[in-house]
Amino acid sequence: MADHVEKVIYDGDPGHDDVMAIVMAAGDPHIDLLAVTTVAGNTTLENATRNALMLMDVMDLDIPVVPGCAKPLLRKLHTAPQVHGEGGLDGAGYWEPKRKPVNEHAADFLIRTLMESDGDINVVTAGPMTNLALAMIREPRICDKIKQILFMGGGRYGNITGAAEFNIWVDAEAAKVVFDSPCKKVMCGLDLTYQACLTEEVYKKIAGIDTKLGHFLYDILGFFSHAPVTKEEPGPAINDPCPVAYLIDPKVFTTNDYYVDVMTAPGITYGMTVLDYYRLNPWEEIPAPNVTVGEKLDFDRFWEIMLNAIKALG
Ligand code: BDR
Ligand code: CA
């Protein structure tokens, strides 16, 4: 028996690292994965939903997959085929999933499930925050029901522009709605997630897992290992599982609380998360810290959690 169990709705855009996050959530006994809601981001909504359902087939799990927004709140959609391929999850081939998506919009699903809950559900987002923002706009009372929001996004530098991280940049208006909400927020930005690299050594360990899921992950990560990396990284960052890992074991990374806001003005800083890192200025007008920010990752523990989850799914 796990010493604690966290209920989770996972909202993402699978996507290779989303798949790793969903596997971690589905396979670890500390997480009760209630549903996967999908959103356009890494790839189109249609692809992201199909990819999530394909993963459910591979894991042979009946976790509801609920499609949401096909485009950002205001802007046109930008996807990332240069990272994830044209289908959003290149590497293992595509098929028509056996399982079908839930016939309800993700924003409605979030509202209904959260309003019926005892306030014990964590919302993890690992794509653009469009679904969650739309749900908050339609039913602001969900903010009193969300236990906490843990998200992959932002950072003190960018990956899609010099200033902005992809998830925030795709829909900065949605991120602004979420940042402005009173919910407790845990941010896994690039500074943290770039420590969660897929090294050769880790990839070999995944290669050694002789199960249907192990083979599938080996194939998709083989494609993903050609994704663009920074000069400091020994392999591509597996960004999206970081917030899930924190729910499983809060010691997997260190945190500090900061004031963070999102730039929505057009121009080169669109989508930037501005973080008052040093907080040296004593002016009273500077808002109080509003986000718990992940900083130093325990790499070995992160991959231990991940490999255990993959093996547990058989
Ligand atoms: C984000 O972009 C996508 O490639 C990943 O899934 C992650 O959500 C990193 O910027
Ligand atoms: Ca993602």
Report pLDDT for 5: 98
Q: Tens digit of pLDDT for each residue in 12-66? A: 999 999 999 999 999 999 999 999 999 999 999 999 999 999 999 999 999 999 9
Average pLDDT over residues 127-143: 98
Residue 103: how many other CB atoms lie within 10 Å: 7
In a domain, 1, yes or no: no
Would you say the pTM of this structure is higher than 0.95? yes
Given pLDDT bands bounded at 50, 70 and 90, which one contains residue 234? confident
Q: Tens digit of pLDDT for each residue in 266-279? A: 999 999 999 988 88
Q: Cα of 71 to ligand 1 centre, how many Å?
A: 16
Question: CA of 288: how far to CAs of 41, 90, 141, 241, 258, in Å?
Answer: 31, 43, 23, 28, 8
Report pLDDT for 300: 98
pLDDT over 80 (residue 286): no
What is the domain range of residue 287? 6-312
In a domain, 300, yes or no: yes
What CATH number should be reported for the domain holding residue 220? 3.90.245.10
User: How many domains, in total, are found in the chain?
Assistant: 1
At 226, list the tokens. 């050609």
Q: Which residue has the tokens 């692809």?
A: 47
Q: Which residue has the tokens 């809060």?
A: 250
CB-based contact 262:168 (threshold 8 Å)? yes
Question: CA of 134: how far to CAs of 46, 100, 138, 140, 167, in Å?
Answer: 19, 23, 6, 10, 16
Return the percentage of the chain with pLDDT > 70, whole number.
100
Report pLDDT for 226: 84
In a domain, 215, yes or no: yes
Report pLDDT for 102: 98
Q: Cα of 133 to ligand 1 centre, how many Å?
A: 18
Q: In whole angstroms, what is the distance from residue 173 CA to residue 43 CA?
A: 19
Q: Tens digit of pLDDT for each residue in 13-24? A: 999 999 999 999
In a domain, 279, yes or no: yes
* Contact residues of ligand 1, CB 6 A cut-off: 15, 17-18, 42, 80, 83, 126-127, 152, 159, 165-167, 239-240
Name the residue of 166, 192, 225, 229 to mutate for ligand 1: max ligand atoms within 8 A of Cβ. Answer: 166
Return the percentage of the chain with pLDDT > 90, whole number.
91
Q: In whole angstroms, what is the distance from residue 193 CA to residue 226 CA?
A: 18
Q: What phi and psi, each to the nearest 5 degrees, are found at residue 7?
A: -75, 135
Name the residue of 42, 89, 169, 220 to mutate for ligand 1: max ligand atoms within 8 A of Cβ. Answer: 42
Q: Give Dmax over CA atoms of the chain in angstroms.
A: 58
Report pLDDT for 37: 98
Mean pLDDT, the chain, as a whole number?
96
In a domain, 263, yes or no: yes
pLDDT over 80 (residue 100): yes
The identity of residue 166, as a single letter, is F
